[in-house]
Copies of this chain bind each other. A is one copy, B any other.
Amino acid sequence: MSDVTTKPRRSRANRRPTRSAISGQNPTLEVPYITRRIPTYDLLDDTSLCRIEDAADEILATIGIEFREDPETVERFKAAGGTVTKVGEEAWNITFEPGLIRSLCSTAPERFTQHARNPANSVDIGGDAMVFAPAYGSPFILDPQGNRRYATIDDFVKLTRLAQSSPWLHHSGGTTCEPTDIPVNKRHLDMVYAHIKHSDRPFLGSITHPDRARDSIAMAEIVFGAEFMEKNCVIMGNFNSTSPLVWDGITTQGITAYAERNQGSIHLPFLLGGAVTPVTMAGSIAQSLAESMVGVALTQLVRPGAPALLATFLSSLDLRSGSPTFGTPEPALGSLVMGQLARRLKLPLRCSGNFSTSKLPDAQAMTQAMFSMKAAVQSGTNFILHSAGFLDGLLSMSFEKFIMDTDVCAAMHAYLKGIEVTEDTLGLDGLREGGPGQHMFGTAHTLRHYETAYWDSALDDYQPWETWHEQGGQDAVARATARWQSQLASHEDPHLDPAIDEALLDYIARKKASMEDAWH
A residues with a Cβ closer than 8 A to B are 1-3, 6-7, 16-19, 21, 38-39, 41-44, 48, 51-52, 55, 58-59, 62-66, 68-69, 87-91, 93, 146, 148, 242, 244-246, 248-250, 273-283, 285-287, 316-325, 328-330, 332-334, 337, 357-371, 374, 378, 392, 395-396, 404, 407-408, 411-412, 414-415, 418-422, 424-428, 430-432, 434-441, 445-446, 449-451, 453-457, 459-465, 467-469, 473, 475-477, 480
Q: What are 7 residue pairs bridging A and B, where the CB atoms are less than 8 Å apart in the complex?
A: A39-B42, A65-B436, A324-B462, A328-B454, A330-B454, A332-B415, A367-B404
Q: Is the CB of A51 within 8 A of B421?
A: yes
Q: Is the CB of B367 within 8 A of A43?
A: no
Q: Is the CB of B275 within 8 A of A2?
A: no
> How far in angstroms is the closest Cβ of chain B from A123?
22
Interchain CB contact (< 8 A) of A460 among B277, B368, B436: B368
Task: Determine the distance from Cα of A282 to Cα of B148 in the docked complex, in whole angstroms.
Answer: 47
Note all chain B residues with C-beta closer than 8 A to A273: 453-454
Note all chain B residues with C-beta closer than 8 A to A360: 475-476
Q: How many copies does the complex hold?
A: 2
Note all chain B residues with C-beta closer than 8 A to A91: 2, 6-7
Task: Determine the distance from Cα of A276 to Cα of B414 in the docked complex, in whole angstroms.
Answer: 22
Interchain CB contact (< 8 A) of A477 among B55, B363, B431: B363
Task: Determine the distance from Cα of A259 to Cα of B428 in the docked complex, in whole angstroms.
Answer: 31
Q: Is the CB of A419 within 8 A of B333?
A: yes
> How far in angstroms is the closest Cβ of chain B from A126?
23
Note all chain B residues with C-beta closer than 8 A to A89: 2, 6
Q: Is the CB of B321 within 8 A of A2?
A: no
Q: Contacts A245-B431, A428-B59 hold; do A446 and B274 have CB atoms under 8 A apart?
A: yes
Task: Determine the distance from Cα of A250 to Cα of B1 in the docked complex, in whole angstroms.
Answer: 8
> How far in angstroms is the closest Cβ of chain B from A66?
4
Q: Is the CB of A419 within 8 A of B16?
A: no
Q: Is the CB of B435 within 8 A of A280?
A: no
Q: Is the CB of A330 within 8 A of B414?
A: yes
Q: Is the CB of A461 within 8 A of B280?
A: no
Centre residue among A274, A277, A395, A436 by max chain B CB count within 10 A: A436
Q: Contacts A370-B371, A427-B282 hold; do A392 and B459 have CB atoms under 8 A apart?
A: no
Q: Is the CB of B275 within 8 A of A457?
A: no
A378 (CB) vs chain B CBs: closest residue = B41
Note all chain B residues with C-beta closer than 8 A to A427: 278-280, 282-283
> How far in angstroms is the closest Cβ of chain B from A491?
23
Interchain CB contact (< 8 A) of A329 among B42, B367, B412: B412
Note all chain B residues with C-beta closer than 8 A to A396: 465
